[in-house]
Structures are given as C-alpha cells and as structure tokens.
Structure 1
Amino acid sequence: MGGIDGPALGSLCEALRGPVLAPGDAGYDEARRIYNAMIDRRPAVIAGCVDVADVRTALSFAQDTGLELTVRGGGHSGPGLCAADDALMLDLTPMRWVDVDPQRRIARVGGRSRWGDLDHATHGFGLATPAGIVSTTGVGGLTLGGGHGHLTRRYGLTIDNLLSADVVLADGTFVTASETEHPDLFWALRGGGGNFGVVTSFTFRLHPVDTVGLAMTVWPVDRTREVLRWYREFLPGAPEELSGFFALLTVPPGPPFPEPIHGRKMCAVVWCYTGDLEGDRLEKALTVVNVPGPPAFHFTTPVPYPALQSMFDGLMPKGLQWYWRGDFFDAVPDDSIAVHEKYGQNLPTGLSTMHLYPIDGATRRVDADDTAWAYRHATWSGVIAGIDPEPANAGLVRRWCVDYWSELHPHSMGGAYVNFLGEEESADRVRGTYRGHYDRLATIKHTYDPDNFFHANQNVPPTTS
C-alpha cells in the first residue's frame, strides 16, 4: 500500500463518499491508467472525490500522511503529471456533470467533465465554447493551460471564455475565483496550469455554434514546401470564421479518404468554418486550396459541431504510446519549412503527426497582461507527437519527436503551450513559457500555496519572500 497502514486507509475510506482504491483492490489497475500508455505508475492510493468535501478530505489526508499529491481530471496529461508512484491520486472522476443556462449563454461544468460532455449538453441549444480537437480531453487540464481549438480564431482561447472557477486550496479553503472575487487567483488560473489548487467546477461563456463546415485537404508530403508557404500567407489574412490547422500525417485506412491514398504520408489542413453555410459558401471559401497545386483529396461537408470535435477520437483512443513537445511560432520561415518537410517524409509510425494550430484572430483582442497566457502575439501553437500502440516503438517515436523539435525550436518564439511541455523539460523552459508573467505567477503561488503542495505540474515554485 505504498506505506499507508491499514487503519489510516480505513479512515480515508470512511471519510470519503467516493471510492478509495489501493494496490490489489479490484478496479485499481484500471483506475490508475491514464490516456498515455507510455506512463505506467502505481499510486499508493486513489481517492475518488464526489464533491468538495471529498476533495478537502483527500488533501488533508495527503498532508497528514506526507504523501505526494497528484490530481487527475481527464487523465490526458502527456507527461503523466496526474499520476505518480507511491502518491495519493486525487481522482475527480465522479465529478462529471454539466449545467447549461441557454438564456444567459453560460455553462457550469464539473472538474472531471470531458469536452464531449460539454459539447453534448450545449449543442442542443446551438451553443459551444472553444476547446481542443479531441472530445475525450478533460475540461480541467485543457482550460488551466489556456485551451485552443477549432473555434479559437473566432472566439478566443478557452480561458478567454472562462467566467469563474471554484477552487479548493492547499489549506482546504474553498473559494470562487472570478474578475471580482480573488481576481489575482483568477488571473493565474487562466494559463497557469494546476499550480494553485483543485478546480472543482468551471463556468464558461458560450457562443452560437451549431452546424459547422468541415473540410479536409491533403497533398502528398513532397508538396509540404509549397503548401506551407501558401498556408503561412493565406490563413492569417482569412476571415476569422475560417480556421484550419496544418498537419503532417499518414492517411488512415477509412472514410472519407479514398483507398488509393490509404497509408500514404501527406501534408494536410483540417478546416472548420463557422460562417453562413447557405448554398455553396463553404466550397467558395475554400477554392483557395488549389493555389499551392491541386490536392490529392479535398472533402467538405456540414456537420454538427460535436461531430467535428469527436472526429479524431477513434484514431486516438486511450492506451497508445505518446511522446510530444511543442512551441509557439509567430512566423513559418523557409528554414523551418525545410525541417517540417524532412521529418514529415520520415514519420516513424502511422499515428505520429505534427500540428500547427492557428491562435490569432480573437485571441489577440485580449490584452497581453489580462491572463497568465504569455504569447498573445503568437500566430501558431505547434505540437510534434510521436504516437504508436506498440510499447516496443516508444523509443522510436520519442527519438523522432526530440530530433524534430530540436531542429525546429530555433525557429520558435522560445516558449510553448504549457500542456505541450514534457515532464523532463527544464525549469528554464517553464519560465520561458510564462515570460514576463512568471514572477507574478510565483508571487500568487506564494499567496495561495506557499509550501508548493501542488507541484505535480509544470511547476512555478512560490516566491520565498
């Protein structure tokens, strides 16, 4: 039991309404598994928290026993920061709920909810908020890191639509953070990661989003140079209702892709159009895809927004080997395009990929100092992801990712989307990600978590004075 004696474990079981699991218990091995199968850690105890009272009890137990604490929401942390050997995993799995107020266009969301839960609840009212590209991602981790996705160019980052958050602090205090209550904490939560407490619920602003235009355009990977030169010029000047992320990928063997291109390495743009879909307006908006040369495949269709959000879920199920790294970019110079071309032609496995997510448009209408997110003038957030189902290929995908990132990083702005940082990346890398906001975050950390109890994250240690 990782050093927890029977009576102590029994007292935790009695105090919590949620399930408590220790090594050897039925369900323990399934409960400890996270999205990235490259991470295989064995907590001393998993405390399932049903409500705020459970969270406070679990925090107190970890402090009394001296156990390291990790917090699991959706479990999508690439470096596995939600799990640690011989630690207490505070598991928010039972706190999965969504409450929508369509008249006020807001939604309150439990700390363990997935984006698919929110999309399902809001779609019935023709509403949504910006959030990623995979519906199984947890609301908590994505939001606290900043959050970008298909709707970002039009409606901003996820944190730009966060109205408040309920938080349990290290000393057990329960607070609501917003523009008017604990505004310093609210500032820090919007991009500062899990450094400040356990967020038990989020309240978001919603926007009118119902049926959107989906398009996918793919070209042979040896056209990467021409396509990226065109893409870097076209998209930043396109209307904000059109978004499209650039990708290097291997075409999966299934619809909508025709069989002749199955398994081929390609460069691609995955488009989302939130403008008027009457007539052929989607097709007209994308006639430009022929500018860099005729694509090998181009597909357009109107879809419900939740269908777009869940489009990659089947390709990326829980249990794959993942290794990723990221960077912010304000430009895509020719020298960096040569790097993309090189590594796109050498994708090591069928699922390994690189994405450039556009984060301009509405993101830039928020002042640079209004949130902890420090890269308001970036144009793209890039991620390189080595992915494969086979553990034997873990080293292969990791080497490809690290080599690719090492050659591309000199062309970046220096920092990265915090959710794309790896666990082994240095404290200087975290500081570079927050730039001029780092010292302010450290001061707020000292106010709300002076002992750095919440350190299983991309950590910002508290100031010492």
Structure 2
Amino acid sequence: MGPHISESALSGLVEDLAGEVIIPGDPGYEEARTLHNGMIDHRPSVIAQCESQADVSNAILFGRACDLPIAVRGGGHSVAGTSVIDGSLVVDLRRMHTVVVDPENMTVRVGGGATMGQMDHACQPFHVATTGGRVSTTGIGGFTLGGGSGWLERKFGLASDNLLAADLITAEGKHVRTSAEEHPELFWALHGGGGNFGVATSLTLRLHELPRMSVVMLFFLPENAPEVVRTFRDIAESAPDEVGGGTIYLPAPPEPFVPPELVGRLVCGTLLTYAGPVEEIRELAAPLFALRPVIEIVTDIPYAELQSMLDDPPGLRNYWSAEYLTEFPDEAVDVFCDRGAAIPLPAATQHVLFVQGGAVAAGAGPYPQPWRTAPWAVHPFATWEDPSMDEAEIQWVRDVRADARPWAIDAVYLNFVGAEGEQRVVSSFGEENYRRLAAVKAEYDPENVFHFNHNIVPAA
C-alpha cells in the first residue's frame, strides 16, 4: 500500500464500491495490472474495478483524497502503457462493458470498458456497424475519444464522427452528459482530445447498415513488393468510399492459410476491405491478381470476424509510431519498401501503409484532427518477444519515421503513437485547436488530474 493510503480510507473505498478493490498481494493483482504491451511492468498502489458511474466517482474522490496519481484503464492497448502507472490509483472500467443496440434508432450505447469485439458481435445480428478499430480487443472508449480510425472510415467516417453523446465523470467526481446540444464545447473536444477531460463511462454511437462485407487479402514475395505497393496505391486512389485497406510488410504468420515454407519469412501483403459483395471487390483488385500472389484470400466475411482477423496476441513487446503523408509517389514507394525489407527478425513486426480519404477527409472541418486530410498513413508497428531486440526494433520504427518525413505533415493520429513529447501532441491538434482544447481542459480538469495520456495542459 502506498504511503498516502490509510487503512480507514482503503476500507471506505471497499465499502463504497460495488466493484472490487485490488492492492498488491491480493489474488488477481498480477492479472489486473497486466497490459497489452509486454514492455510495461508497472505496479499501481490500488486498482478499483468499477461497475457503475458511482464507482468511478468514488474511486476518483478516493484517489484525490489520498494524493494518488490517477490512471484510467479501458482496453489497456495504449502503447505507452498509460492506463497502469507505478504507485497510482487505476480506475479500471473493464467490468463496465454493457452494449445496448437500438436498431430502430440506429444507435449503440457502450460502457466505458467495452471492447471492439463486444460491440461488433452485439451489432452483427442486426447487420449494422459503426467504424471500429482493426483489433477486436481494443477498448472503445480510448479508441473513439482519440479519433477512431478503422476499415469503415472512408465510408462512415471516423469513430468520433459517429459519437452522438458521452457520459463523463470529471476530476471532481461529478457526472456530465455531453452531446452536440449539451456542453457542446466539451463534445467538440472529445473528437480527438482523448481522456483529458474526464472518465468516459458510456458512449452513444451512430450505426449504419452493413448487410455485406468482403475482403481480398493477397501476399507476395518481397522481391515483387515495389510493383505490388504501386499497384495497390493506384487502385486505392481511385476506389469508391466503400473500399478500405492497406499494404503491409510482415513475417508470414503460422496460420493455416500460410504454406509451411513461408512461415516466418518476410512477405508483402495487400488488404482491400469492401462494404459490399466479394464479386465487386475481386474485380477492383484484378491488377493485383496479375502480379502472382503466393497466398490468396478472397471472401465475404462478417464484419465482427474481419475485426478480429488481425488480432495480435497480448504480452509481446510493442513500439509504434506513424506519419501522415500528403502524397505517396514512386520515390516514397521505394523508400517504404526498402525499410520494409529491413524489418529486424525474428519478430511479429508490421510495416503498414493505410489509405485514407473519403469520409475521413470530408469531415475534417469542425474537429481538432488536422491529420485526417492526409490521403496516406505510414504506421510502423513493431512487436517482438526477445528483450535483447528492443534497441533494434525501436530504432527501426524511428528510421521509418525519418524516411517518411519528406512527404509528411506535422499532425498524426495520436492513438497510433506512444510518448513522443509535448510538441508532437500540439502539432497533431494544430496550435489554434490546442489552445481551444486547453481552455476546455481548464474548465473540466483545471488541476490536470487526468494527465497520463497525450496530455493537453490546462490553459492558465
């Protein structure tokens, strides 16, 4: 127990919470403090596993009374590990995972601790969906409040574009409901501002009809990669908004669809997702089939299954970043491919290029997300097991960023990056937006209680 926590205060928290209070030495403590990123090994003083808004409020008031740093955990996917901090109180939302689908009004309400997979599976029977992340274990709260980039974004916009309302518990333990009509400035700030303004206990999101979903996933030998990437680029640039996807370098995984002789070898893959029937996306992808893929997966697929298709296992060591590009000319293709061929092995590292545009760019005006105007995103996603590879993997990610700078803008989707400094945060919102966000922060969290995030410093 930390030096600021008295037995009576801790007993009071236990009595106040419908959920569970866990401290070091308790059964379940090790599991409760473990995050997706295996590089993070933090030991919080108290973990409050909340089950209600009242629990969240009581936990925050306890943490402040005991002068404990306060971290907030949803899915636990933050690459910087900011949801579990040494010596902190962790407000753990994972028990608050209720999902209520309203197909008549085309909305879904999710608890602050719900994951993407829980929402997608609840929506699947109604043939509806909203833009979700590309990994099913991602927490919806942090994903959406950070902006929310996913396969459906070109058709339906970012997840934050589909945010209709949110319930927050503030740093003072008070409940605030926000929407376009209620606390509109706070609502604006939640479109990319992340967890800076309070703990999101529920989100209401707009749904869209999604009767069919299909994919074309192709893998090629790396010597063919430059032509493959250029072809993918040309297809994506003229594709309808129903198309999403990316191109990727990675070691071929040990999956049933991968021939044994390719497992662990570097390959170049392309993925085209399509909000429609497989026959149409196959036709669009015809130029890629002409380049002799060594693996072909062409199928209709339920959206919830697509969302879990690229799940990476927890516990690996992770280091990610991103750059957003104004263009992707042939010179950039060659640089991208050279760095992809240099992925440190053995690892599960991925070198990804995502296509944007469509509704992402069309909705850029009102929100503090200048990165969304860029048509391309380069996302070096390093994951590995052996700690002796830390330096090589981290340097590789930094080299990818340096390679991309000639075509990059200053702004970046912050959910894709770790702790890269205050200026990275400011530039990702833009200075004018940042000042406006700082004013909202000063109103709802003037003492910067919620600072374990891509932090927005309260305006003076």
User: Where on the TM-score scale, by shorter chain, does this alignment land: which range?
Assistant: over 0.9
Aligned partner of 1:61 in structure 2 is 62
- One-letter amino acid of the structure 2 residue matched with residue 427 of structure 1: E
* 1:394 Cα deviation from its structure 2 partner: 2.8
Aligned partner of 1:355 in structure 2 is 352
Q: Tell me, what secondary structure is at the counterpart of 1:203?
A: strand
Q: Tell me, what secondary structure is at the counterpart of 2:380?
A: strand
Once residues 230 and 277 of structure 2 are traced to their aligned partners in structure 1, the CA distance between those partners, rounded to angstroms, is 28
Once residues 448 and 253 of structure 2 are traced to their aligned partners in structure 1, the CA distance between those partners, rounded to angstroms, is 44
1:300 and 2:298 are equivalent in the alignment: yes
> Does the CA contact (< 8 Å) of 1:34 and 1:76 recur in 2?
yes
> Does the CA contact (< 8 Å) of 1:381 and 1:417 recur in 2?
no
Once residues 307 and 8 of structure 1 are traced to their aligned partners in structure 2, the CA distance between those partners, rounded to angstroms, is 45
Q: Choose the corresponding residue for 2:372, options 361, 373, 376.
A: 376
* 1:395 Cα deviation from its structure 2 partner: 2.9
Q: Choose the corresponding residue for 2:403, options 403, 407, 412.
A: 407
RMSD of Structure 2 on Structure 1 (CA): 1.5
1:178 and 2:176 are equivalent in the alignment: no
Once residues 174 and 234 of structure 1 are traced to their aligned partners in structure 2, the CA distance between those partners, rounded to angstroms, is 47
Aligned partner of 2:422 in structure 1 is 427
Identity %: 40
> Does the CA contact (< 8 Å) of 1:149 and 1:357 recur in 2?
no
> Does the CA contact (< 8 Å) of 2:222 and 2:268 recur in 1?
yes
Aligned partner of 2:148 in structure 1 is 147
1:213 and 2:214 are equivalent in the alignment: yes
Gapped runs of 5+ residues in structure 1? none
> Does the CA contact (< 8 Å) of 2:347 and 2:385 recur in 1?
no
Aligned partner of 1:20 in structure 2 is 21
- One-letter amino acid of the structure 2 residue matched with residue 288 of structure 1: P
- Counting only pairs closer than 5 Å after superposition, residues 60-459 of structure 1 correspond to structure 2 as 60-277=61-278, 280-290=279-289, 293-313=291-311, 316-348=312-344, 349-368=346-365, 370-423=366-419, 425-435=420-430, 436-459=432-455
Once residues 334 and 204 of structure 2 are traced to their aligned partners in structure 1, the CA distance between those partners, rounded to angstroms, is 43
CA offsets 1:335-381 (integer angstroms, 9 cap, x no match): 4323322221121133101222222101122242x222222311123
- One-letter amino acid of the structure 2 residue matched with residue 56 of structure 1: S
Once residues 462 and 352 of structure 1 are traced to their aligned partners in structure 2, the CA distance between those partners, rounded to angstroms, is 37
Once residues 422 and 27 of structure 2 are traced to their aligned partners in structure 1, the CA distance between those partners, rounded to angstroms, is 38
Once residues 331 and 177 of structure 2 are traced to their aligned partners in structure 1, the CA distance between those partners, rounded to angstroms, is 47
Once residues 398 and 146 of structure 2 are traced to their aligned partners in structure 1, the CA distance between those partners, rounded to angstroms, is 22
> Does the CA contact (< 8 Å) of 1:189 and 1:372 recur in 2?
no
- One-letter amino acid of the structure 2 residue matched with residue 356 of structure 1: L
CA offsets 1:304-334 (integer angstroms, 9 cap, x no match): 1111111122xx1111110111121121133
Once residues 2 and 382 of structure 1 are traced to their aligned partners in structure 2, the CA distance between those partners, rounded to angstroms, is 42
Once residues 229 and 341 of structure 1 are traced to their aligned partners in structure 2, the CA distance between those partners, rounded to angstroms, is 10
Q: Tell me, what secondary structure is at the counterpart of 1:245?
A: strand
Once residues 234 and 308 of structure 1 are traced to their aligned partners in structure 2, the CA distance between those partners, rounded to angstroms, is 21
TM-score under structure 2 length normalisation: 0.96
> Does the CA contact (< 8 Å) of 2:99 and 2:110 recur in 1?
yes
Aligned length: 457
> Which moves more between the two structures, 334-343 or 112-121?
334-343
Distance verdict in 2 for CA 1:413–1:171, change over 3 Å: same
Aligned partner of 1:44 in structure 2 is 45
CA offsets 1:246-302 (integer angstroms, 9 cap, x no match): 11111112222333433221221112111244xx333222212146x3323332011
Gapped runs of 5+ residues in structure 2? none
CA offsets 1:195-230 (integer angstroms, 9 cap, x no match): 110000000111112431121112222333222223
Once residues 371 and 276 of structure 1 are traced to their aligned partners in structure 2, the CA distance between those partners, rounded to angstroms, is 33
> Does the CA contact (< 8 Å) of 2:82 and 2:453 recur in 1?
yes
Once residues 32 and 320 of structure 2 are traced to their aligned partners in structure 1, the CA distance between those partners, rounded to angstroms, is 23
